[in-house]
């Protein structure tokens, strides 16, 4: 999704009130940006991310309960066109890679210049992928070390392995003792992460990468 209107609707997700207040004041002082909500946790963010959806979500990584990475993963599974930009104090390799694998389109740091943050939001709204240079270096470093399938969670690998065996969503749900709609959400996430469009392509991908025997 690329925003074509002048006003960019932003949802802020951060467990620190002082950060939410500061970001809200900063962004609302900028022309063409509207803060639709500023919430303290992942559950609230998921409730607000669907109707009407924000154009850009600024997501903290480290939060109690549902952290930013898992919140992003669930948000993207429910609305694949969501544009989530991680905004955090951390630029370590694993956090950056996990955030991008979860579906985030960008990764910015809280010590960035305010103008860089605003440019990043506008870039995300245009369909681009804003990455702080330190986060980009961390991502490149991690990508060289990861194996195929490392971008999938343990549960997603289980679902994919059962799909390869020819099980239906209902059968997978029964085998893993989860709901059928949860299976569908996992498969949506898997398809997006490995870059396929359907079950057949996913099964072929898994077999080619040695992930069909989980």
> pLDDT (tens digit, 9 = 90+) per residue, 37-93?
999 999 999 988 777 889 999 999 989 888 999 999 899 888 888 899 999 887 766
The secondary structure of residue 131, as a DSSP letter, is B
Site of tokens 């997978």: 172
pLDDT at 1 over 50: no
Q: At which of 143, 165, 200 does a domain end?
A: 143
Whether residue 197 sits in one domain with residue 99? no
User: How many angstroms separate the first and last alpha carbons of the chain?
Assistant: 34
pLDDT at 172 over 50: yes
Count structural domains, the chain. 2
Q: Place 2 in a pLDDT band, splitting at 50, 70 and 90.
A: very low
For residues 108 and 112, give the distance between their C-alpha atoms in angstroms, rounded to a whole number: 7
Site of tokens 């860089």: 116
Query: How many CA atoms lie within 13 Å of 32's alpha carbon, on the beta-carbon side?
Result: 9
Whether residue 203 sits in one domain with residue 163? yes
For residues 152 and 61, give the distance between their C-alpha atoms in angstroms, rounded to a whole number: 18
For residues 3 and 157, give the distance between their C-alpha atoms in angstroms, rounded to a whole number: 33
Helix (H) or strand (E) holding 72: helix 68-78
How is residue 98 written in tokens?
């996990």
Contact between 85 and 106 (Cβ < 8 Å):
yes
Whether residue 175 sits in one domain with residue 117? no
Q: What value does the mean pLDDT take over residues 132-147?
A: 62
Query: pLDDT tens-digit profile of 103-132?
Result: 888 889 888 899 999 999 999 999 888 888
């Amino acid at each position: 999704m690329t925003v074509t209107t002048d006003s960019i609707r932003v949802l802020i997700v951060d467990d620190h009130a002082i950060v939410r207040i500061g970001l809200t004041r900063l962004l609302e002082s900028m022309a063409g940006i509207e803060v639709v909500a500023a919430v303290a946790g992942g559950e609230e963010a998921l409730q607000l991310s669907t109707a009407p959806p924000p154009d850009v979500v600024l997501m903290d990584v480290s939060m109690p309960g549902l952290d930013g990475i898992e919140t992003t993963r669930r948000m993207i599974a429910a609305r694949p066109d969501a544009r989530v930009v991680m905004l955090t104090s951390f630029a370590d390799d694993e956090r950056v890679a996990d955030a991008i694998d979860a579906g985030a389109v960008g990764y910015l740091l809280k010590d960035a210049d305010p103008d860089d943050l605003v440019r990043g939001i506008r870039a995300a709204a245009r369909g681009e992928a804003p990455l702080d240079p330190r986060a980009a270096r961390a991502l490149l470093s991690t990508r060289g070390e990861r194996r195929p399938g490392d971008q999938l969670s343990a549960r997603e690998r289980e679902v994919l392995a059962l799909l390869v065996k020819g099980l239906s969503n209902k059968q997978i749900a029964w085998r893993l003792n989860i709901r059928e709609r949860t299976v569908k959400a996992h498969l949506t996430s898997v398809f997006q992460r490995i870059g396929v469009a359907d079950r057949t392509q996913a099964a072929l991908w898994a077999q080619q990468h040695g992930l069909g025997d989980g």
